[in-house]
Amino acid sequence: MTIRVHVHGAKGKMGSAASAAIEAAEDLSLCGQSGRTDDFKRALERSRPEVVVEFTVPDAAESNLRTILNYGAHAVSGTTGVSSSVASELGALADSCGLGCLLAPNFCLGVILMQRFSKTAARWFDDVEIVEMHHEHKLDAPSGTSLHTARLIAQAAGRPLNRGRPREHQPLAGARGARCGDISIHSLRLPGLIAHQEVLFGATGQRLSIRHDCVDRLAFMPGILLAIRRIADFRGLVDSLDHLLDDPQL
């Protein structure tokens, strides 16, 4: 038995790479593709998927995911920038439909490991900042990955962070980055980059750097395929690939 998969946003860089990876997988069947100019609901009715993979833009993601769930398919979305309130609403809809809805800030398995290592370090270091670097066409800043990382670090620490600071003066607003709770996030957007993140912990006499570099979009494919295969095991909102990472078949 193969899993029938539809890809929405199939002409984009991530959508096209995901489509190729699905076609190459023996246990998956690419039953349909669509984009922003297509009637999405009708496209799903034609392709009859069990799982829909969605890579579009933040402004369209909520509508797309509602369409997927109301159709009756599990949703795997790599679109970042969806607000927490919208994510909660989508999770409630998925749960009421008996479906899984994965809103993954990142599909790269190395990123999930970076976040796990950062959570461990947060127990021992009181000071931390995040630098995230992406290509010039990325729409959201800070990235969904960096925001998720900051929240995981804060939760793991369980105490205030970055408290040893004087009253800072910023002649240029934003010089110290955006703030996610106690943690500063610095966003870079440049040609030649794909997706990179460094978590910097500091303490007296030492610094710990936990960094991940994605140099090819193919790095996301194992995570996407894992999500497609596992999402039917879940109901409601799944907010990270981390929940699927301990699959014994991985």
Q: Where are the alpha helices (DSSP H) in the chain?
A: 13-24, 40-47, 58-71, 84-97, 109-121, 144-157, 221-230
Nearest by Cα to 245 from 223, 225, 228, 229: 223
Query: Would you say residue 247 has pLDDT above 60?
Result: no
Instruction: Supply the pTM of this predicted model.
Output: 0.80
Q: Is 250 among the domain residues?
A: no
Dist. CA 88–CA 236, nearest whole Å = 9
Q: How confident is the model at residue 248 (pLDDT cuts 50, 70, 90)?
A: very low
Q: How confident is the model at residue 250 (pLDDT cuts 50, 70, 90)?
A: very low
Give the model confidence (pLDDT) of 210-221 as tens digits: 999 999 989 999
Residues 201 and 234 in one domain: no
Q: Which two tokens stand for residue 144?
A: 């969904």
167, burial (CB in 10 Å: exposed 0-12, middle 13-18, buried 19+): exposed
Residues 84 and 119 in one domain: no
Q: Name the domain count of the chain.
A: 2
Q: For residue 162, what are the domain limits?
A: 109-214
Residues 16 and 50 in one domain: yes
Q: Examine the residue annotation and report whether 11 is marked as an active-site residue of this protein.
A: no
Catalytic residue among 6, 8, 134, 212: 134
Catalytic residue among 119, 138, 196, 243: 138
pLDDT score at 167: 78
- 222 upstream amide cis, omega within 30 of 0: no
Residues 15 and 75 in one domain: yes
> Is residue 172 classed as helix, strand or coil in its secondary structure?
coil
Q: Examine the residue annotation and report whether 134 is marked as an active-site residue of this protein.
A: yes
Query: Would you say residue 69 has pLDDT above 70?
Result: yes
Q: Is 164 among the domain residues?
A: yes
CATH number at residue 202: 3.30.360.10
Q: Is 184 among the domain residues?
A: yes
